[in-house]
Amino acid sequence: MNMSNARQYPVDLQRQVINEVKNHNRLLSDVAKQYGVSAKTVYQWVRSNDSRQTENKGAIVSEIAYLQQKIAQLSQQLQAMAS
């Protein structure tokens, strides 16, 4: 399908559908039928959401490591100043 012909769904609808599948353990096909969306589209939304969450977790872990390193550096500087 040409991207210009692809149907655009509201972000709130996508979030609601993803929530139904992920947090309420509903079958993807049942949620698709309820909201009038193809099962393929629902699958893509859920998969995309999972990918974003994985990327976010990686970024958070990297940020924590950086901040821990910075804390150690600042603690050393503080100890040096106190001596």
Q: What is the distance between the alpha carbons of residues 82 and 40, in angstroms, rounded to a whole number?
A: 63
Q: What is the pTM of this model?
A: 0.59
**Residue boundaries of the structural domains of the chain:** 3-82
As a whole number of Å, the end-to-end CA separation of the chain is: 69
* pLDDT at site 64: 95
One pLDDT digit (tens) per residue for the chain, 83 residues: 444 445 799 999 999 999 999 999 899 999 999 999 999 999 999 999 988 888 888 889 999 999 999 999 999 999 999 98
* pLDDT at site 6: 57
Query: In angstroms, what CA-CA distances link 54 with 8, 47, 59, 71?
Result: 24, 11, 9, 26
CATH architecture of 3-82: Orthogonal Bundle (1.10)
